[in-house]
Amino acid sequence: MNATVFGLCGAMAAGLGLYGLITDAQPLRKILGFNLLGAGAFLSFGVVARRGAAAGFGGDPVPQALVITGMVVAFAATALAVALLLQLFNTAGAATLDTNATSEGNDPPVT
């Protein structure tokens, strides 16, 4: 039953992503952690799809299609998050979520 192995794998990737999302101070690492969390969730759902193999298909096509849609939406959200982060870096001079650090910094350069 190989699906079980990958189910554990997905659950662990999701847990590791959650840990990175909360504990890492750097915004880019938070985005990375969130993507790992998402990928783990997709993989778990993929195992559910595999268990639903029937009617000559290797897996239930409905969860598979939902995962494909989810991956595209995850990319769109990541692209927006990265654009916001780079904008923060350009205006505040540092990519940090620490409000004390940015308010004491230099005036934002006018771009």
Partner 1 sequence: MTIGFALDSAIAVLVVAVSCWTIIARASFAAVVGFVSFGLLLTLVWVRLDAVDVALTEAAIGSGLTGALLLAAAARLRTSEFATQAERPSMALRVATALLSATATAALAGALFLLPSPAPTLAPAAAANAGATGLGNPVTNVLIAFRAMDTMLEKVVLLLALVGVWSLASDRFWGGPPSPLRGANTEGPLAFLARLLTPLGIVVGIYILWEGADHPGGAFQGGTILAAMWLLLMMSGVANAPATRFRSLRLVLISGPMVFLVIGLGGLWLGEAFLAYPVAYAKPLILVIEFVMTLTIAVTLALLLAGPPTREASR
Shortest separation between residue 103's beta carbon and partner 1, angstroms: 15
Question: 8-47 mask for partner 1 (x: CB under 8 A)?
Answer: xxxxxxxxxxxxx-xxxxx-xx-xxx-xx--xxx-xx-xx
Shortest separation between residue 49's beta carbon and partner 1, angstroms: 6
Positions 58 through 87 that interact with partner 1 (CB under 8 A):
58-62, 64-69, 71-80, 82-87
Distance between CA 15 and CA 7 in Å, rounded?
A: 12
* Total residues interacting with partner 1, rule: CB under 8 A: 83
Residues in Cβ contact with 47 at an 8 Å cutoff, skipping those fewer than 6 apart: 3, 4, 6, 7, 10
- Pick one of 2, 99, 103, 106: the residue that binds partner 1 (CB under 8 A): 2
Smaller CB distance to partner 1: residue 16 or 106?
A: 16
Shortest separation between residue 106's beta carbon and partner 1, angstroms: 13
